[in-house]
Structure 1
Amino acid sequence: MSHNPMLAAAIDQTRARLTRDGWCILRSALPAATIAALDAELAPAFAETPFCQGGFYGETTKRFGRLLARSDRMASLVQHAVVQGIAEAVLAPWCDCIQLNVAQAIAIHPGAPAQMPHRDQDMWRVPAGALECLLNVIWPLTPFRDENGATLVWSGTHGAAALDPPPASAGIAAAMDPGDALLFLGSTLHGAGANRTQEARRGLVVGYSLGWLKPYENQMLAYPPAVARAFAPELAALVGYRQHRPNLGNYEGQCPSILLDSDTVRPLAAIDALRPDQAALIADFAAAQRDAP
């Protein structure tokens, strides 16, 4: 948790709303000018990207990833202090460290139907209601309104409520402006709304997941060492250049951050990266072996 009292208070207040309802909106999280500049940088990729295929992605929708490699401004979204602090606090009970799960741009074009309501963490076969695997954040690039397909969320459908029958009520359209951020848990029921206007609705989704899960976006391919070397160390760690104890995600038995130092690959000694309880068990076993007659 942050040692900055104002930041810690902002994290606690937002987290309280998030855990109560399963979602919340952080207003004016970033300057609108920052988001406008980012939208302009991504405009060529939106224009060049083909429409998706399949009923879930939506055939009137465009999606593309690798956003940290497309714009330096993305780091301010991915590493937003309040958002990342909330992600770490919410997911901490179930992991040693969090990871970036996805950074994806989405444009919902005119005529797009509403998306099927779903829970994002159902991508992993974890028991419903048992744990939180994911925190997703939607950053609008254009205004989100009910008529242009703003994300629909269902309050109180998170956590153990994921075991309940689907709600009969209509979802709440998360109306936002550029600079705002919609946070919702991986267990919260949600879906894109229908776009009934003549303009595309554009936004970005940034997701954080438990560090031991396979991420939605293959971060090592999205940001290979040659790209990640330009990242701040904390950002490189978030996209996967660190181990998750015990020894998960290693490279030749060491933290993959070693790949950020040089192109040269040399023989390496595998080094334990264990949880304290595991290290204690091994120490006790070794002591018992020494003391055995």
Structure 2
Amino acid sequence: MSNGFAIIRGAAPTSLLGRINVDLDSRYAATPFCEGGFYGARTKRFGRLLIRSPHMADLVMNRAILELAEIALGNWCERIQLNLAQAIELHPGALAQFPHRDQDMWQGALGEVEYLVNVMWPLTSFTAENGGTIIWPRSHGLEALVEEPREAPIIAEAEPGDAIVFLGSTLHGAGANHSKAVRRGIIVSYCLGWLKPYENQWLAYPPHIARSFPREISELVGYVQHRPNLGNFEGQCPSVLFDADPEDARAAVDALRPDQAAMLAQHVASQQAVASGTRS
């Protein structure tokens, strides 16, 4: 994504987005408008989408999108994780959102590391009139350190089934809805596996829920360790909670990268050699 974003036409079947849209209807209706200028007083948002539609897993696990996220983020982590899956409904009269970069959630080095890949999936048409996502091309990476973006923004017009993909360092924001209809979309994002995600996945999908997920989904929402040993439960992979009592006593088990395991093996061998010489 040399421009900091890409629009992938027909990235998912239109019928899949249609089924998800129907599944979310009741939740959209029940959800109150957001509070605060950033989220928007004429906007509705809610998460936990993996339990709100049985079809969301297919969207979250879209193979082409996951491969793109792995390419964009893989240099800085051992595995990626789900950052959020959130539904958005922009109502008539919604103001344009404050331009922002999602990487600003984390206070790490800027311009050196990409922390996040966002995917906006339209559930309705995204147009200039109804508040389609505004993106500043080539405002990512080191350009995030520039006070004013060098290029004019574009409006990412798209249809259900298209994927609007952009980096966490890319400047963007929802447009203003000047139409008479709501604009619906889903944001799915993936971040480095060692970061704290926007949506607390272990609260969104506690063990009694996540145990029913396919393994690749449960791992994506955090029920797996990020080597070395990060995100463990009592020194083991948190997936042990799917089949065991949390109060069970258990041994801590190494979870190391291959390079670390090799260095550790050398260290242990040298220590054993010293110990053997001492005993003799």
Fold match by TM threshold 0.5: yes
Aligned match of 1:172: 154
Between the aligned partners of 1:51 and 1:86, the Cα distance in structure 2 is 33
Aligned CA distance change for structure 1 residues 32 and 263 (closer, same or farther; 3 Å): farther
Whole-angstrom CA distance in 2 between matches of 1:169 and 1:47? 38
Show the counterpart of 1:196.
178
Gaps of 5+ in 1: 1-17
- Within 5 Å, which residues of 2 pair with 1:215-234? 215-234=197-216
Match of 2:60 in 1: 78
Superposition pairs of residues 130-169 of structure 1, within 5 angstroms: 130-167=112-149, 169=151
* CA apart distance, 1:200: 1.1
1:248 matched to 2:230? The reply is yes
Partner of 1:107: helix, strand, or coil? strand
**One-letter code aligned to 1:36:** G
Shift of 1:140: 0.4
- Tell me the CA shift for residue 263 of structure 1: 5.4
Alignment partner of 1:124 is 2:106: yes
1:102 to 75, 84, 89: 84
Tell me, in whole angstroms, the C-alpha distance in 2 between the residues paired with 1:40 and 1:63.
16
Name the counterpart of 2:25. 43
The amino acid that maps onto 2:73 is L
TM-score by length of 2: 0.94
Deviation of the 1:174 alpha carbon: 0.3
Structure-2 change in CA distance of 1:198 and 1:263 (3 Å) = farther
Instruction: Kindly indicate whether the alpha-carbon contact (under 8 Å) linking 2:136 and 2:172 is maintained by their aligned counterparts in 1.
Output: yes
Letter in 1 for 2:20: L
Identity %: 56
Counterpart CA distance in 2 for 1:265 and 1:122 is: 38
Structure 1 vs Structure 2 CA RMSD: 1.5
Amino acid across the alignment from 2:46: F
Deviation of residue 160 (structure 1)?
Answer: 1.3
Deviations 1:106-150 (A, max 9, x none): 111111111111110110001110100100100001100011000
Gaps spanning 5+ residues in structure 2: where?
none
Superposition deviation, residue 278 in structure 1? 2.9
**Paired position in structure 1 for 2:71:** 89
Give distance in 2, aligned partners of 1:196 and 1:172: 17
Structure 1 residues 60-89: Cα deviation after superposition (integer angstroms, max 9, x where no partner): 111000000111100111000100111112
The 8 Å contact of residues 121 and 186 in structure 2, kept in 1 or not, is answered as yes
Q: Any idea what SS the aligned residue of 1:234 has?
A: helix
Q: TM-score, normalised by structure 1?
A: 0.90
Name the CA distance, whole Å, in 2 between partners of 1:85 and 1:230: 24
Specify which of 42, 57, 60 is matched with residue 60 of structure 1: 42
How many Å apart are 1:37 and its aligned residue? 1.5
Alpha-carbon separation, structure 2, partners of 1:286 and 1:36? 57
**How much has 1:181 moved relative to structure 2?**
0.7
Letter of the 2:105 counterpart: M
2-side partners of 1:80 and 1:70: how far apart?
18
Q: How does 1:251-270 map to 2 (within 5 A)?
A: 251-262=233-244, 265-270=247-252
Does the aligned pair in 1 maintain the 2:139–2:150 contact within 8 Å? Answer: no
Deviation, 1:169, is: 4.8
Q: Which amino acid aligns with 2:113?
A: L
Q: What is the CA distance between 1:258 and its match in structure 2? A: 1.5
Count of paired positions:
275
> What is the Cα deviation at residue 230 of structure 1?
1.7
Q: Is the 8 A contact 2:73 2:115 kept in 1?
A: yes
- The whole-number CA distance in structure 1 between the counterparts of 2:246 and 2:268 is 36
Cα pair 2:137 2:151 within 8 Å, conserved? no
Looking at structure 1, the residues matched to 174 and 268 of structure 2 have their Cα atoms a distance apart, in angstroms, of: 55
Matches of 2:272 and 2:202, distance apart in 1 = 42
Aligned mates of 1:263, 1:112 — CA distance in 2: 48
